[in-house]
Structure 1
């Protein structure tokens, strides 16, 4: 837990309209007063984030959700009881008095109550727990999300628009929250907009209905663009059965390779890697370390970052979603590197 003085100072900074980076159990957030359009605009400007890409409003455990939402369906109440505080964002119809800027101009709003003790202390101190803190991940738009305070410093340096960084250690979950749309639950049903640690079957166990996949009229949501969570180095996802062959091929064409994997490589290998991280093949452990690994491997000057394809199945959906978006702009990179020698 951060000293009380730090929490109170961070709350004062937020109340003044400036920004504070703070830890959550998922990733670090770049926070501003959700009801202050100038503060919200500062978030978009600092991140270089498109203005129509909605933010998530973080609230204290005791918050009145009815203040933020025009309608709180029974499904939302049940899910809040089951998973809040925790890594679940609910999309609800936005109350008319909540500025549309924070929602990217939409008539819905994303709400979340984080479980990290530092985040909870800040939210309780900010406007005596009655305010909301809009907080996307504390990084430049589209980059790998930060899971440590140092990652935030690496992103923004000494930018004066960021008034304070609260250090709460490394984020426990390591990938962003599950996002569930309940803004159209009466007409469409629940819709899973972004997978995360809390899976569809866990949600169904609570509300009795399996969430649907996003449809054409689903609200825009954070972190759902085709390319996102991406390091500067092109990323290629390679199946386990082709991993060593691909590494050998790139080695033979004199390419510098960074590798993120979980399988054991042959002991007799003679492949020189620019960087290598091996993660334990468990979805929770892998997610916890994923962004640290991507950031570290991005700094080794490789031509390509090879990621061993992770297992399928519901428990891996959050990880696979992030890797797929991180690799979007790297499609075909291995073939191009070989062909362009």
Structure 2
């Protein structure tokens, strides 16, 4: 277990290299994002994703989201990008919006019981973006034990996850400090499954009709 202070350019470069090597070797890493800290693994390594779930203390009934390092990555991961999803991506990525889409059936990954869907987000954090561009799509969940508050600093994450994680990238306190807003775009009308970093009214300003499934 090693922690790298990403405020130092030399240590940041070394940390990114170490984290990329760890992730591509099937190990877990903790990375800063704009919302909260995340615990991440190679999205295409099923054993690493299972280790991620075990580190959090939860099962496959709560599938792991995937972070991407560019807008265009989404095109290779889904069957077809719905127009409303494209509009939301252009408005809020990189940022605190996660989109639930139908993933391409050819993808060889096991993120949990996702029923053919995947939750995608492009984070607004330079360290996260740099790591994602080195590794590719990563399965990333909030860096905390299930039932505990999400970590907003690397120290918070380390206190909860300890040596189950190989590399911790310390990017300072999370700028937003709350989880992303989650929108399901697999149906005719976008459905908000979780209200977080992006308010509901901002979504409606961009795409009009949005169903708030959290209000039920």
TM-score by length of 1: 0.58
CA RMSD of aligned residues (A): 1.7
- State how far apart, in whole Å, the 2-side matches of 1:52 and 1:164 are: 26
- State how far apart, in whole Å, the 2-side matches of 1:63 and 1:134 are: 17
- In the other structure, the counterpart of 2:125 is 116
1:145 aligns with 2:150: yes
**Counterpart contact for 1:17–1:38, Cα < 8 Å:** yes
- State how far apart, in whole Å, the 2-side matches of 1:68 and 1:197 are: 24
Name the SS of the counterpart of 2:141 in structure 1: coil
* Max Rg structure: 1
- Map 1:289-300 to 2 at 5 A: none
Cα gap change, 1:63/1:163 in structure 2, threshold over 3 Å: closer, same or farther?
A: farther
**Counterpart contact for 1:204–1:211, Cα < 8 Å:** no
Runs of 5+ consecutive residues of structure 1 not aligned to the other structure = 217-341
Cα gap change, 1:207/1:103 in structure 2, threshold over 3 Å: closer, same or farther?
A: farther
* Deviations, residues 28-59 of structure 1 (Å, cap 9, x unaligned): 10000111111111101111112110111000
- Map 1:158-169 to 2 at 5 A: 159=163, 161-169=164-172
Structure number with the bigger relative contact order (C-alpha 8 A, sep ≥ 6) is: 2
- State how far apart, in whole Å, the 1-side matches of 2:45 and 2:132 are: 16
Bigger mean CA offset, 1-10 vs 74-83: 1-10
- State how far apart, in whole Å, the 1-side matches of 2:24 and 2:131 are: 12
- In the other structure, the counterpart of 1:8 is 17
- State how far apart, in whole Å, the 2-side matches of 1:198 and 1:214 are: 14
Runs (4+) of structure 1 moved beyond 4 Å? none
Cα gap change, 1:81/1:103 in structure 2, threshold over 3 Å: closer, same or farther?
A: farther
- In the other structure, the counterpart of 2:76 is 67
- State how far apart, in whole Å, the 1-side matches of 2:78 and 2:151 are: 29
- Map 1:15-34 to 2 at 5 A: 15-34=24-43
Cα gap change, 1:63/1:4 in structure 2, threshold over 3 Å: closer, same or farther?
A: farther
* Deviations, residues 132-163 of structure 1 (Å, cap 9, x unaligned): 11111111111111000100111122x2x311
- State how far apart, in whole Å, the 2-side matches of 1:133 and 1:193 are: 22
* Deviations, residues 69-92 of structure 1 (Å, cap 9, x unaligned): 122101111111111000000000
- State how far apart, in whole Å, the 2-side matches of 1:148 and 1:205 are: 32
**Counterpart contact for 2:195–2:214, Cα < 8 Å:** no
Instruction: Kindly tell me the number of residue pairs found equivalent between the two proteins.
Output: 207
Name the SS of the counterpart of 2:142 in structure 1: coil
**Counterpart contact for 1:54–1:103, Cα < 8 Å:** yes
